[in-house]
Amino acid sequence: MKHLKNVVLFTSMFGASMAAQSSELLNNASNTWEFEQYKNSLIQEIKDTHTSYQTMINESGSVHIMAPAAPLSSFEIRGVISSNYPQWEGIAPNSFSTTQDHGGREVYILTREIGYANPSSRIAKLNGSSLSVIDTHPVTSGSSVVGYLVVWKYSVGTFTSGTATASARSINFPNNQEDDRLYIR
């Protein structure tokens, strides 16, 4: 039941564009209440972190709102789903490995960005093979985009286990690169 709820959230978040480009596995898993709750927690993480970047206290002690385009400050792999484990597995920050055994013909990962990444700099790989972006969901706070959730697809062949890597470069100063690595069992 928990995994079913998460799938509903994910599908409603990413909408029809993802459904048209993805499989029944991804669509079903993304339409569960549990995934919806997980996705909402990731969105809230982005908003909460962005809020801390938005305020600045000047020398006189008054608070001023800074420009909304914060540099990329975090880029993490935060979800995995596969043919062998057809529910989204939420990945905790700083995790080194999935807890579930994934694999099969279909593997998807979910990345979470805080700040603005240059879209052309986003890269994700699984065992050295490039993943393709299935959907990009902007996260807004008020009228400002403050981050993104991105779904990636592995489409090289049957996957058994290995290392997923993902990275992106900030679109604005300081043009830093953020990256993450996760061993998928």
Match domain 2-184 to its CATH number in 2.60.40.2870, 3.40.50.2300, 1.10.10.1800, 3.50.50.60: 2.60.40.2870
For 62, 77, 126, 184, the CA distances from 163, given in Å and listed in that order, are 47, 11, 6, 6
What's the whole-model pTM score? 0.78
Spatial separation of the C-alpha atoms in residues 62 and 148, rounded to whole Å: 30
Give me the pLDDT at residue 172, please: 82
Spatial separation of the C-alpha atoms in residues 126 and 104, rounded to whole Å: 13
Spatial separation of the C-alpha atoms in residues 122 and 131, rounded to whole Å: 10
The domain spans of the chain are 2-184
Spatial separation of the C-alpha atoms in residues 103 and 185, rounded to whole Å: 8
Q: Give the type of residue at 79.
A: G
Minimal CA–CA distance to 118: which of 63, 183, 71, 184?
A: 71
Spatial separation of the C-alpha atoms in residues 185 and 116, rounded to whole Å: 30
Phi, psi of 43 (to 5 degrees): -60, -40
Could you tell me if 78 and 150 are in contact, meaning their C-beta atoms sit under 8 angstroms apart? Answer: no
Give me the pLDDT at residue 136, please: 93
Spatial separation of the C-alpha atoms in residues 94 and 120, rounded to whole Å: 25
Residue range 34-48: mean pLDDT, rounded = 89
The model's confidence at residue 23, banded by pLDDT at 50, 70 and 90, is confident
Identify any residues that bridge with 162 across adjacent strands, giving them in sequence order.
184
Give me the pLDDT at residue 57, please: 44
Tokens 């992106």 -> residue:
168
